[in-house]
Amino acid sequence: MEELGERIRACVMVELLAADIYEKMAELFPEKRAFFMQLNTEEKNHAALLTAGKGLLRKEDIPDFVAPDSLSEIKEAIDFARGIRLRLDSEDLPLERAIELLIEFENTAAESNFHEVFDDKSEWEIIQKLGRLRVESVNHADRIRLLLQKESSSPE
């Protein structure tokens, strides 16, 4: 069970790093501030849900298809996020390149993240909420990809 707790804590870190990245993007690209701050808020909400729910279910209560990936894979997502944040601080990345990095990160994070909602709900309700949070994480990559397409097609 402790390894599951470690994986959940690492997933919380992924969510918080993602929120930080989106806040930095809002700062760097003020014309897209609302978009990036919405993602920032969603990532903070994911972290809060994970934190609130940590440990309220036993490992055997969590279906295999929603259990977090291995700790090493989650740590790779953490390292990748930290690398993006460093690049945002140290390089003058154009919006399109920054968006490409975000898409890559969201695809990695969507594979590594474990989203849990632990209310006093039935197992079916918890699984439904987990599914919605998974879709939202994947949706982040899709929304960012759409932004990239708009930026690529707009005249300078």
Q: How far is CA 9 from CA 14, 45, 59, 84, in A?
A: 9, 15, 15, 20
Q: What angle do CA 61, 62, 63 make, to 5 degrees?
A: 115
In angstroms, the Cα distances linking 38 to 7, 18, 128 are 26, 12, 23
Whether the Cβ atoms of residue 150 and residue 85 lie closer than 8 Å to each other: no
Task: Decide which of 156 and 75 is more confident.
Answer: 75
24: pLDDT strictly greater than 70: yes
Q: What percent of the chain has pLDDT over 90?
A: 35
- Give CA separation, 120 vs 24, 32, 56, 125, 150, in Å: 36, 38, 10, 9, 42
**pLDDT of 138-154, one tens digit each?**
678 788 888 888 888 87
- What tokens were used for 40? 């920032």
Q: What is the mean pLDDT of residues 43-61?
A: 70
Instruction: Enter the pTM of the model.
Output: 0.73
Determine the angle formed by the axes of helices 2-28 and 71-90, rounding to 10 degrees: 20
If one compares 104 and 55, the residue with the highest pLDDT of the two is 104
pLDDT in tens, 83-108: 999 999 999 999 999 999 999 888 87
| Contacts of range 27-36, beta carbons closer than 8 Å, 24 or more positions apart | 28/88, 28/93, 28/98, 29/95, 29/98, 32/95, 32/147, 35/143, 35/147
Tell me the average pLDDT across 40-58. 75
Amino acid at 17: L
